Amino acid sequence: MTHTIALCHWINGQKIEADRPSQSLNPSDTRETVAAMPDGGSAEVDAAVDAARAAFPAWSEASPEVRSDVLDRAGTLLMERRETVGRLLSREEGKALAEGIGETARAARILKYFAGEALRLHGQNLPSTRPGVEVQTYRQAVGVYGLITPWNFPIAIPAWKMAPALAFGNTVVIKPAGLTPATAEALVAILHEAGLPDGVVNMVIGRGGVGQAIVDHPGVDGLSFTGSQGVGAGVAMGAAKRQARVQLEMGGKNPLIVLDDADLDRAVQIALDGSFFATGQRCTASSRLIVQDGIHDRFVAALADKVKSLRVGDALDPDTQMGPAVSEAQRDGVYGYVDIAREQGGRIVTGGERLNLDKPGWYVQPTLIADTTADMRINSEEVFGPVASTIRVKDYEEALTLANGTEFGLSAGLVTQSLKHARDFQRRSRSGMTMVNLPTAGVDYHVPFGGSKKSSYGPREQGFAAADFFTQTKTSYSAG
Ligand code: UN1
């Protein structure tokens, strides 16, 4: 048994004590409380926004070296502590320990990447249409950003929203997910330890009311949200009402096409990784496996073997390959979708049963469902769990049509040896990201991330695209 972490809000560089009516539990063993947390409201959000506004002038006007140094130091500290922070992440979120440590290292690298970007913010210099006049563009800090982050990447997503906001001179109010606040708090604490000035990052812990107060606050200039499509639509409406900037990353129903010419072992490994790693709780997870007729039966049989042999268990056990679902609601949602798929005619090839291990946790069986059709609910709604369904197609064109045929468009994959089909897919896939001979999930941090249709809204996140959202452009004309 490890002790329960007593969480506080962070406002103006101080830890603010409050009652702690809620807990985050260890999904691998729900007898263990990871953290006890406060339940903030609009009073804490008001104080946090005031602190962020007060900190903005000095932070945005400081040399970019000041901002760069803080991010670089925080990245170094986080990398040094990736084992302990990664362990906390896995205890609180339930992803396998190697994934928890890997995600923490990724967050550290994101901080370091944006430490460099702080110095590379650049504009353009153009001749005017009028002789003797010059036009220049600058990118400038915007103000206070409200960040609302999900539980499935409890440290990487707070890092990839906070790091560009800070690098470019903005200040922040963040609400971490209620299921994983201790992991996010570890990052906020490290930023302060690295020398972040008071008020530049403020964190208010709580439920939906905190998010709503941030969305509606007139002192928040921009909102970045990752989560469900329904909540995201509300964030966008709240932002539109008061003309705040907004960026949303929401769901996916990501297709992985496997063509007849694919290397079977490779296709199976790609599907396994994309569909089941991180317990399938990634918006980039492969959930629709669209498989050509000639390889279909061999692919389904070989993938089923691999899925069956995945070791499901306590996230902290080094032998575990797949941890539990994050919560009871999430686990029950997975069961619900498997039942619906069965009722609608899907064939459960492996998994699909309730899973009870030797300790109380939200464990689920990794599940493969064959013989599904595109119109079934299992192929149109996001499950967010370790479930993949296969759809049989006759050729590439049919596969592409199905791949594009959902309201989502985040990531799409193709396994093939055909350069012709690969190139065609890269152009005609209606998703924000395409993956050829790679899993749909697992992205780099130095390039843009985002989708089309109902997967994303607003400017792209991450990489060089992050400056589009976290700065505003000033156009300056001058004559000699
Ligand atoms: C990844 O696939 O490496 O919430 C990242 C999510 C995404 C991040 C996926 N925003 O799952």
pLDDT tens across 444-479, in order? 999 999 999 999 999 999 999 999 999 999 999 999
Residue 367 lies in a domain: yes
Domain membership of residue 283 (yes or no) is yes
Judgement on whether residues 261 and 243 belong to the same structural domain of the protein: no
pLDDT at 87 (0 to 100): 98
Nearest atom, ligand 1, residue 284 CA:
2
Measured from CB, residues less than 6 Å from any atom of ligand 1 are 150, 152-153, 226, 249, 282-284, 441-443
Query: Is residue 283 annotated as part of the catalytic site, yes or no?
Result: yes
73 and 181 in a single domain? The answer is: yes
* Phi, psi for 131 (deg, rounded to 5): -55, 140
C-alpha of residue 284 to centroid of ligand 1, in Å: 5
**Residue numbers of the domain that contains 450:** 5-250+446-479
What is the pLDDT at residue 470? 98
| CB 164, CB 102: distance < 8 Å | no
The whole-angstrom separation of Cα 137 and Cα 25 is 49
Q: 457 forms bridges with which residues in the sheet?
A: 248
* Residues 243 and 276 reside in one and the same domain: no
User: Quick one: 99 and 188 in the same domain?
Assistant: yes
Confidence of residue 114 (pLDDT cuts 50, 70, 90): very high
Strands 222-226 and 201-203: unpaired
The stretch 374-399 carries a mean pLDDT of 97
CATH number (domain holding residue 243): 3.40.605.10
Whichever domain contains 304, its CATH number is 3.40.309.10
Query: Quick one: pLDDT band at residue 202, thresholds 50, 70, 90?
Result: very high
Is 27 inside any structural domain? yes
Q: Report which of 218, 210, 212, 211 is spatially closest to residue 244, judged by C-alpha positions.
A: 218
Answer yes or no: do 274 and 387 share one domain.
yes
- Surface-to-core class of residue 36, CB atoms within 10 Å of its CB (0-12 exposed, 13-18 middle, 19+ buried): middle
> Which pLDDT score, from 0 to 100, does residue 3 have?
87
In a domain, 467, yes or no: yes
68 and 103 together in one domain = yes
Residue 381 domain-assigned?
yes
Q: What pLDDT is stored for residue 153 in this prediction?
A: 98
Within a domain: 441: no
Smallest Cα–Cα separation from 55: which of 218, 202, 203, 242?
A: 202
Q: Do both 117 and 182 map to the same domain?
A: yes
Q: Kindly state whether residues 282 and 390 are assigned to the same domain.
A: yes
Both 128 and 42 in one domain: the answer is: yes
Does 1 have pLDDT greater than 60?
Answer: no
Are residues 266 and 184 part of one domain?
no
The total of structural domains in the chain comes to 2
pLDDT tens sequence across 57-83: 999 999 999 999 999 999 999 999 999
From the CA of 153, give the closest atom in ligand 1: 4
pLDDT band at 2 (very low <50, low <70, confident <90, very high): confident
Report the share of the chain in percent with pLDDT over 90.
99
Distance in Å, CA 431 to ligand 1 centroid: 14
Specify whether 242 is located in the same domain as 258: no
117: annotated active-site residue: no
Q: Is 268 inside any structural domain?
A: yes
Q: Token pair for residue 67?
A: 């901002």
Confidence band of 215 (pLDDT split at 50, 70, 90):
very high
Q: Between 2 and 249, name the one with better pLDDT.
A: 249
Catalytic site residue from 44, 99, 117, 283: 283
Instruction: Average the pLDDT over 302-324 and give the result.
Output: 98
Looking at the structure, tell me whether residues 190 and 261 fall in a common domain: no
Ligand 1 atom nearest to 411, measured from its CA: 2
Query: What pLDDT is stored for residue 92 in this prediction?
Result: 98
Mean pLDDT for the chain? 97
The residue whose C-alpha atom lies closest to atom 10 belonging to ligand 1 is: 283
Residue 97: per-residue pLDDT: 98
Give mean pLDDT, residues 338-348. 97
Q: Residue 442 Cα, ligand 1 centroid: separation in angstroms?
A: 7
Residue 450 lies in a domain: yes
Residue 290: band (very low, low, confident or very high) from pLDDT cuts 50, 70, 90? very high
Whole-number pLDDT of residue 380: 95
